[in-house]
């Protein structure tokens, strides 16, 4: 892809001082193919796509960032707005395009494109609209970057991760959905805020569907290594099941609340996805609750389904699913979540081919 | 300000773990007033205010961040969206309020409030609307944080910085406008992009009015220490004055272009202001072209006016204005800029009394 000058007056035809400014060393070779730059493609430049892109930029996670969308004006405007910050950022090549050739050889493709969830609309309601959009996007992404990791953010994220997997033909370790990574962060925030402790010291997972049937793993919550349920028991702090359900419901509702108050969610999902990008590209082998293919685990039957479980992520995508121990009730809730998702997947199976 | 619980079900009346979870050390004293934390207030939670707030958060520049706006729903939505990222960020206290008591003892107050520049609207057209808004904002900000630094971002920034100075009655070193910090970044981006070099190695200032009558200091541009104009002369690269003017115009136009393409600008100004925040709060003594009181400087003696010159910024605000060498033509243009701004300010004296 040849370089497009940013100024109309600096360069051939205008003021051109680039040829004599720097002198190359004699006998230099060109960069070898193995001297690879990290390249991230973000598909969709709405509030979510741009929050993700900007945080990735601020956190210096990539050498090259490609914005892909359908609206060329919006694309160009967003690209310029990021490029104008060059004096305040490490140098990152930022490009915007409506064509997929610009995305070639990406290490990570983040898909945020799709219709936005309306207030009070459930994520599953979006489904059909977004499958059609994915049919246009995923095969091309996969063709231009056959080694990439696909990270699905659009909702409903679990079913769309399944769709992306089918449409890409990629092995399962390289197709991941943002899943409940953010729900878990919201959960950890509530607990951390209550205890006035740093959220990083709170281990807490919400798993299953990123949506109404998600499952809070109360049996696995610990703060600074202290398991919470056991702590309650030891300190004879009574706790009604209803209270735990209410706290979980608060987490699920909080996404809808933000949407109602400010029109969309952007920052939190931006940080959440940037965190996944870092773990993947820098091979951090950190555990995140993300949407992955679960086939036969936890007694989930009925077929292949994508839903969130704590998974170790690294440069090769999903390195493994954590063998977290679930209570009987949590296992049942997880199976119910899977059932909901399998039904949704069944609705789109024909659509994909 | 007492702590407002984030969850309805975690705390008194719900599940309360907090009393027994951590045991304080015996004989602990409360934090002394000198153990201060860095507190930043951002007034206005539109696209610019939020891009600034979020970049400050990602770059870990404050211990406490207060968002102020008139729209309480939007405010709460934005605050929640940032808080939900707690698991991915260093711990920062984030508050949102419509009242100014929440802003007490801020180290830095960033004002972005005001009507947004419409496509095709010049910055001066916004003026009267925004001065009235500042009349409501600045006095309470100053009253609650008498030691703070005020950083004005709203447009037209130079005149509004003057208004903020008058309304706050602060000494001039503690009232700064974001000025041409971003224009200069755009300028540096164009030159750096042409030379395919890192923008941080390009020293280039645009000064004067942040707007149509800004002045590009061609005589002060250097790349890797090489002054550009003398380089062109030595290499016998001819150029027309018109070309230089066109490049400068491209910079001025690029803001309008982004507004036309994506509806507004946000990311670049976000990074620009976060960069100023860092220089101020971390006492970096870095030179930024920002809007400062220039009466008596560089031959400008027409009266009290704020416009951008390269100034050294640190914990005390404006530590000094760089005695940059201006060509005769540049000095003339600057004086003209000052005169234009002074004329506009005179029209507002009735509002500023």
A110 DSSP β-pair partners: A42, A151
C-alpha to C-alpha distance for B351 and A98, rounded to whole angstroms? 49
Q: Find, in chain A, the residue whose alpha carbon is nearest to that of B76.
A: A261
Using CB atoms, pick whichever of A193, A237, A268 lies closest to residue B6: A193
B195 DSSP β-pair partners: none
* pLDDT on residue B75: 97
The pLDDT-based confidence of B1 (bands split at 50, 70, 90) is very low
| A23 burial type by CB count under 10 A (0-12 exposed, 13-18 middle, 19+ buried) | exposed
Using CB atoms, pick whichever of A80, A184, A243 lies closest to residue B254: A80
The catalytic residues of B are 210
C-alpha to C-alpha distance for A65 and A176, rounded to whole angstroms? 19
- In this prediction the pTM is 0.91
Inter-chain residue contact B15 with A237, CB threshold 8 Å: yes
B336: CB partners within 8 A, 6+ apart: B213
Q: Give the DSSP H/E element, type plus range, for residue A149.
A: strand A149-152
Q: Omega into A156 within 30° of 0, i.e. cis?
A: yes
Paired tokens of A146 = 């056959």
Q: Give the DSSP H/E element, type plus range, for residue A332.
A: helix A328-352
- Coil vs helix vs strand at B300: strand
Cα–Cα distance list, A77 to A91, A93, A111 (Å)? 19, 16, 20
CB B172 within 8 A of CB B321: no
| A241 burial type by CB count under 10 A (0-12 exposed, 13-18 middle, 19+ buried) | exposed
Mutate to test the interface with A, among B9, B205, B264 (most CBs of A within 10 A): B9
Neighbours of A302 (CB within 10 A): 14
Inter-chain residue contact B73 with A261, CB threshold 8 Å: yes
| Block residue for tokens 């920062």 | B92
Q: Which residues of B touch A254 (CB under 8 A)?
A: 80, 84
- Is B18 at the interface with chain A, CB within 8 A? yes
C-alpha to C-alpha distance for A220 and A243, rounded to whole angstroms? 17
Inter-chain residue contact B244 with A15, CB threshold 8 Å: yes
Cα–Cα distance list, A283 to A36, A92, A150, A175, A276 (Å)? 16, 20, 15, 16, 10
Question: Does residue B291 carry a pLDDT above 50?
Answer: yes
Q: Which residues of A touch B262 (CB under 8 A)?
A: 73-74, 77-78, 81
Q: Give the DSSP H/E element, type plus range, for residue B320.
A: strand B317-321
C-alpha to C-alpha distance for B16 and B34, rounded to whole angstroms? 32
Cα–Cα distance list, A320 to A206, A313, A328, B30 (Å)? 18, 7, 23, 46
Q: Find, in chain A, the residue whose alpha carbon is nearest to that of B270.
A: A85
A284: CB partners within 8 A, 6+ apart: A278, A313, A314
Q: What is the pLDDT along chain A (353 residues), one digit of tens a residue?
A: 356 778 888 888 888 888 877 777 777 777 666 667 899 999 999 999 999 999 999 999 999 999 999 999 999 999 999 999 999 999 999 999 999 999 999 999 999 999 876 777 766 667 888 998 999 999 999 999 999 999 999 989 999 999 999 999 999 999 999 999 999 999 999 999 888 889 999 999 999 999 889 999 998 899 988 898 888 888 888 888 888 899 999 999 999 999 999 999 999 999 999 999 999 999 999 999 999 999 888 888 888 999 999 999 999 999 999 888 899 999 999 999 999 999 988 888 877 76
Render B182-214 in DSSP notation, one character per residue: HHHHHHHHHHHHHHTS-GGGEE--EEB-SSTT-
* pLDDT on residue B34: 64
- Coil vs helix vs strand at A93: strand
Render B223-243 in DSSP notation, one character per residue: ETTEEHHHHHHHTT----HHH
Inter-chain residue contact A88 with B272, CB threshold 8 Å: yes
- Distance (Å) from the alpha carbon of B339 to chain A's nearest alpha carbon: 29
Chain centre distance of CA A236: 40
The catalytic residues of A are 210
**Please, what is the angle between helix A72-83 and helix A47-58, to 10°?**
20
């Amino acid at each position: 892809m040849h370089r497009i000058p940013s100024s109309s007056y600096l360069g051939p035809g205008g003021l051109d001082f680039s040829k004599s400014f720097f002198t190359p060393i004699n006998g230099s070779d060109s960069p070898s193919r193995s001297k690879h730059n990290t390249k991230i493609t973000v598909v969709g430049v709405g509030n979510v796509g741009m929050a993700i892109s900007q945080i990735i930029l601020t956190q210096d996670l990539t050498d090259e960032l490609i914005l892909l969308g359908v609206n060329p004006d919006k694309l160009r405007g967003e690209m310029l707005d990021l490029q104008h910050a060059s004096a305040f950022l490490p140098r990152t090549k930022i490009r915007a395009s409506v064509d997929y050739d610009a995305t070639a050889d990406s290490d990570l493709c983040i898909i945020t494109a799709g219709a936005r969830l309306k207030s009070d609309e459930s994520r599953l309601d979006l489904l059909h609209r977004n499958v059609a959009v994915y049919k246009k996007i995923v095969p091309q992404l996969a063709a231009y970057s056959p080694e990439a990791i696909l990270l699905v953010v659009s909702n409903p994220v679990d079913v769309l991760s399944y769709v992306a997997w089918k449409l890409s033909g990629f092995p399962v370790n390289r197709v991941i959905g943002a899943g409940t990574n953010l729900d878990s962060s919201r959960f950890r925030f509530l607990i951390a805020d209550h205890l006035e402790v740093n959220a990083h010291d709170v281990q807490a997972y919400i798993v299953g569907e990123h949506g109404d049937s998600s499952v809070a793993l109360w049996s696995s919550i610990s703060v600074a290594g202290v398991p919470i349920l056991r702590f309650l028991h030891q300190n004879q702090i009574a706790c009604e099941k209803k209270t735990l359900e209410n706290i979980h419901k608060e987490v699920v509702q909080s996404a809808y609340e933000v949407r109602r108050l400010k029109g969309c969610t952007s920052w939190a999902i931006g940080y959440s996805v940037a965190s996944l990008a870092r773990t993947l590209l820098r091979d951090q082998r950190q555990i995140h609750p993300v949407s992955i293919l679960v086939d036969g685990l936890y007694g989930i039957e009925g077929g292949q389904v994508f839903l969130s479980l704590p998974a170790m992520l690294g440069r090769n995508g999903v390195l493994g699913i954590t063998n977290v121990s679930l209570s009987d009730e949590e296992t049942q809730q997880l199976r119910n979540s899977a059932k909901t998702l399998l039904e949704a997947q069944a609705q789109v199976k024909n659509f994909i081919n | 300000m007492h702590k407002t619980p984030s969850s309805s079900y975690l705390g008194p009346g719900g599940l309360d773990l907090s009393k027994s979870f951590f045991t304080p050390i015996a004989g602990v004293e409360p934090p002394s007033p000198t153990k201060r934390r860095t507190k930043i207030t951002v007034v206005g939670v539109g696209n610019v205010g939020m891009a600034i707030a979020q970049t400050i958060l990602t770059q870990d520049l404050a211990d406490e961040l207060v968002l102020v706006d008139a729209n309480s729903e939007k405010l709460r939505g934005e605050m929640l969206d940032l808080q939900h990222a707690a698991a991915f960020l260093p711990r920062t206290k984030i508050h949102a309020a419509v009242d100014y008591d929440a802003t007490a003892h801020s180290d830095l107050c960033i004002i972005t409030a005001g009507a947004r520049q419409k496509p095709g609207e010049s910055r001066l057209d916004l003026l009267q609307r925004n001065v009235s808004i500042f009349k409501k904002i600045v006095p309470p900000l100053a009253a609650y944080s008498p030691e703070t630094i005020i950083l004005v971002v709203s447009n037209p920034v130079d005149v509004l910085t003057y208004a903020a100075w008058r309304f706050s009655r602060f000494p001039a070193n503690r009232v700064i406008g974001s000025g041409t910090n971003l224009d200069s970044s755009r300028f540096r981006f164009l030159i750096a992009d042409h030379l395919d070099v890192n923008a941080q190695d390009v020293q280039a200032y645009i000064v004067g009015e942040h707007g149509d009558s800004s002045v590009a200091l061609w005589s002060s541009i250097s790349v890797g220490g090489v002054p550009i104009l003398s380089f062109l002369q030595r290499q016998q690269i001819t150029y027309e004055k018109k070309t230089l003017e066109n490049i400068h115009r491209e910079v001025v136009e690029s803001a309008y272009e982004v507004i036309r393409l994506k509806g507004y600008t946000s990311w670049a100004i976000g990074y620009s202001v976060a960069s100023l925040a860092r220089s101020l709060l971390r006492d970096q003594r870095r030179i930024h072209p920002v809007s400062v009181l220039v009466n008596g400087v560089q031959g400008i003696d027409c009266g009290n006016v704020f416009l951008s010159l390269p100034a050294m910024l640190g914990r005390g605000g404006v530590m000094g204005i760089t005695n940059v060498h201006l060509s005769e033509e540049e000095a003339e243009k600057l004086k003209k800029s000052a005169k234009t701004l002074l004329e506009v300010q005179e029209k507002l004296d009735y509002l500023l009394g």
